[in-house]
Amino acid sequence: MGKIAFFDCSAGAAGDMILASLIDAGAPLDAIKAGLLTISAIRGEWDIYTERVWKGTGLIAATKVHVSSIHQHDPLPAPQHDVAQVKGASRESRHDDHDHDNSSHSHSHDHSHDHSHDHSHSHDHEENHDHSYKHHNDDYSHQDQGHHHHHHHHNDHHHEHRNFETISNMIDGSGLSRWVKENSKRVFHCLAEAEASVHGTTMDKVHFHEVGAIDSLVDTIGSVLALELLGVDQVHCSFLPFSKGFVRCLHGIMPVPAPATLRLFHGIPMGPAPNGAVGELVTPTGASLMKALAKTFGQPPPFLPTASGSGAGTKDFPNHANIVRVVIGTLTDPSATVVNAHWTPMPSSTTAAPTDATIENVAVLETNLDDMNPQLFGHVQGLLLQRGALDVWLQPAQMKKNRPAMVMSVLCEPHQVGDLSTIIFQETSTLGIRRWVFSALTSGAYYLCMLANPWIASSFVAKRWTFRRNMASRLSRLGT
């Protein structure tokens, strides 16, 4: 069966949090950095490191990812409309307008929702990065975190602006696998498409601020590469939270979700935000990663978890831990039984089974038959036994309107359920079959015992422990 990654984004999602959760689940950071370094166009312009943090009142341990860039933040004009120049800030998804003083996240605002969004527009949000941001509209310090990041931006590095085609070509020219390239471009395509829709323009006119692009490249491609390193074949995601609150942009004060994020939400099932959570919980990069990669939203398919990880955002909320959780596992057949590798026998008691008995899983198929010729029951019973049923029995029953009926029960091994169900449907008048799996106690070894005397030649099958206890009485009944 394939390996899946299920992302629990009920508390929100940002690109750095998704990447951090995968690293926490076992994706090696050195291998991720090595893959990202094959993108020659941005080599030497960024760095990434992780630290262990504790989130929420319950102090849940999680991994925090920090991305630094050599570039400073410059304002980026809005993409040009086909008719007139759109005024205001450019992107609803990568606040370009940040003038960070020693900020380690040259963000694309995808670091720690509410957090470090992924926006090109200059969010003043209620973020809690422990950096002092000089936003265009006002200055205020974010001090929700106790640690400072000492990555210095070199102000002499100004950056070109890259559109989707440029970023796509950068990815294609890297040494990454085809799987990583294609899925990374799908994520950026979702983001660029949302930005273009928000600004009423085309994708080729949407430019990602270089700092934002570097941040987004590291978070996005790093997450996709981490999935590959973990051997993940499918991605599944919980519902995403629809939060409340406001964010300050160059456009002015706007409600969350931010415009690009809201556009990305189209077609994605949403749920309520955690109690007491105000502000942006899902960033554009977080939303675009899940929209481009997740096969389903909601509950995961049946799977066997093998690893898990927690990725931390920067902001702290009053009532919940600001983390994204990922669970890695293998898909399972919903009708299959998985043996618990950690199971140990319970201590024996006076009512314990014989020491040579074993516990096995068996299935029972059952159906009510009130409109079938009773002469056919023996025929069906014989077919079922020939196809491997362990036992077949019939019980009389009284149905509605006092109709007489028979209840047919079939005992079989779990893997025989499909074949034997087909026989029941084909050979009886039933419209439905009840089935369940339970544990049965068996003695294990069987013996074929031959008895002979002057009057009787007989054979029978006896279980070992039954044989030991009851052989004397059986022999006496046979006249020996």
| Cβ partners under 8 Å of residue 392, min gap 6 | 380, 381, 384, 385, 408, 409, 410, 411
Asked if 198 and 244 touch (Cβ cutoff 8 Å), the reply is: no
> Within 13 Å, how many C-alpha atoms sit on residue 72's CB side?
14
Q: From CA 281, how far away is CA 117, in angstroms rounded?
A: 9
- Between CA 1 and CA 5 the distance in angstroms is 13
- Strand-strand pairing, 358-369 and 404-412: antiparallel
CA distance 138 to 135: 5
Question: Measured between alpha carbons, how far is 225 from 221 in angstroms, rounded to an integer?
Answer: 6
Whole-number Cα distances in Å, 360 to 177, 370, 443: 45, 33, 10
pLDDT tens, N- to C-terminus, the chain (480 residues)? 689 999 999 999 999 999 999 999 999 999 999 999 999 988 988 999 999 999 988 899 999 999 988 765 444 444 454 444 433 333 333 333 333 333 333 334 444 444 444 444 434 333 333 333 333 333 333 333 334 444 444 444 444 567 899 899 999 999 999 999 999 999 999 999 998 898 888 888 877 654 456 888 899 999 999 999 999 999 999 999 999 998 776 567 889 998 889 999 999 999 998 988 888 899 999 999 999 999 999 999 999 999 999 999 988 888 899 999 999 999 988 777 777 777 777 665 555 555 556 777 889 999 999 999 988 999 999 999 999 999 999 999 998 888 899 999 999 998 899 999 999 999 999 999 998 888 777 665 444 444 444 444 444 444 444 444 444 455 555 554
Whole-angstrom distance, CA of residue 286 vs CA of residue 18: 7
Tell me the two tokens of residue 397: 């029953």
Query: At 67, which helix (H) or strand (E)?
Result: strand 60-69
**8 Å CB contact between 132 and 320:** no
List, as one string, the DSSP characters of 291-359.
HHHEEEESSPPSEEEEEEEEEE-S---SSS--EEEEEEEEE--TT-----TT--PPPP-TTPPPTT-EE
**Domains of the chain from N-terminus onward:** 3-331 (no CATH), 358-442 (3.30.70.1380), 446-477 (no CATH)
Whether the model clears a pTM of 0.75, i.e. scores above it, the answer is no
> How far is C-alpha 305 from the chain's CA centre?
10
Q: What is the largest CA-CA distance in the chain?
A: 112
